[in-house]
Amino acid sequence: MSDPISIPSSSSSPSDSNSEVIPIARPSSLEENFYAERLLEGIQTRQAQIGIIGLGYVGLPLARTFYKAGFQVEGFDIDATKVEILKKGQSYIRQISNDWISEGVEAGRFSATADFRALRNMHIIIICVPTPLTPTREPDLSYIRATAEKISKYLDRGQLVILESTTYPGTTEEVVLPILEESGLQLGSDFFLAFSPEREDPGNLVYNTQSIPKLVGGVDAWGGYLATEAYAQAIKEVVPVSDAKIAEAAKILENIYRSVNIALVNELKTLFDRMDIDIWEVIQAAATKPFGFQAFYPGPGLGGHCIPIDPFYLSWKAREKGITTRFIELAGEINTQMPEYVVSRTQEALDRRGKTLSGSRGLIIGMSYKKDIDDLRESPAFEVLSRLTDRGAQMDYHDPFFPTVPPTRKYKLEMTSVPLNPDTLQSFDFCVIITDHTRIDWQQVVDHSSLIIDTRNITHGLSDDRDHIVKA
């Protein structure tokens, strides 16, 4: 093996750092380790180079956060198109500005590459790759495994590896660690390993990567301490936990909590619709209680990378242990049925008007999985659109963030966003509101549509005449 990675000494923090960082208390149980001490020095002086693998909605904001803290950051991605865009100093994610990218590229403090040989030069390597499900709803760890194999090939003494991708408890230790050990290096003495779950919320204007508390758990003692110290240089609050499994389980719990509660209000929506009760007003009324209640809202189905997927990682792991996670399975079943419920409500509404779904012209409004972002991951719009098309409807869509819809793993649409204007709206037999983007003129939609299927309650209060509006 080569000599330990060299970290230049520095007596002061980079000028980018605007606040003093108080060092994390060092556990007395840590044994002396030359490589760890060198890396700790590099972290505290911000001379350590950060390598981030996966430059999507998690990796790119994280790269910005470390860059703003004064670190030199290298981004790695297998998507050559993304890499070339970043090399030009541009962003491909709407909520990530070009400014820091162009500044970093010009200053030589941020770069992107598809050449993983450059991992040799990194002191800290952070994995931010997708963790999807297989068609049979089992964890697909192929991205994590492939990334770990690339790291193992170039792993050097003194490097810290951190997994951020959401997964089931035990993944870092049971999947990533054995692959890294194929390098011949030893955990805790030659290299260090930790897990720190991403907590990104695209489009959130209040919380971002720098301000959301960061959980950190080490597989080895030095790994947990070094990772905590590294994140503390860039993130406002870092919360160390006992080990990687605790951090992995905490992130799964966060997403299961949301999945189960969203499933509850989705189920109540279907019941209250039959009882002619407005679920949205019910939630608003219940939310006046100042304790013991948190408002969750129904929708057309779950979207985004976390909530529709992550709970099934734990249910799969539970089956391996001989346990059935009934709450998780039931919540998943209810939430995955919501696109079909939207289609059924659409068909019922057309039937009452003497029309059939087959042959009708329909418009999906909003393809993103949530409002005001250019993110299509697991969006229920695809499933609703597909089901309506399968039943004979002639479908179009409008979304201000997607003039065309790029292909996903499951769907490849050859469609173009249609403009929203009175003539266009009047040409459709129905429109289904999937995403409540704020830049859409909803009053115009209400005034000029013959039939609206509203899954977001965005039309509430826009018209006294509600005969052509159906909540779903």
For every residue of 372-427, DSSP letters joined together read TS---TT-HHHHHHHHHHHTT-EEEEE-TT-SBPPP-SS-----BPPP-SHHHHHT
- As given in the structure block, the two tokens for residue 315 are 């249910």
Nearest Cα to 442, choosing from 462, 419, 472? 462
- As given in the structure block, the two tokens for residue 10 are 């520095």
Q: Is 306 a catalytic residue?
A: yes
- Alpha helix (H) residue ranges in 213-325: 221-232, 244-274, 279-286, 310-320
In DSSP terms, 469 is beta-bridged to: 452
Based on the number of CB atoms within 10 Å of its own CB, is 79 exposed (0-12), middle (13-18) or buried (19 or more)?
middle
Gap between the Cα atoms of 448 and 432, Å rounded: 14
Gap between the Cα atoms of 391 and 321, Å rounded: 41
Gap between the Cα atoms of 217 and 193, Å rounded: 9
List Cβ<8 Å contacts ≥24 apart for 102-108: 104/67, 104/73, 108/72
State the catalytic residue, choosing from 24, 126, 263, 306: 306
- As given in the structure block, the two tokens for residue 413 are 């649409």
- Give the 3-state secondary structure of residue 263: helix
Q: What angle do CA 119, 123, 124 make, to 5 degrees?
A: 85
Please give the positions annotated as active site: 306
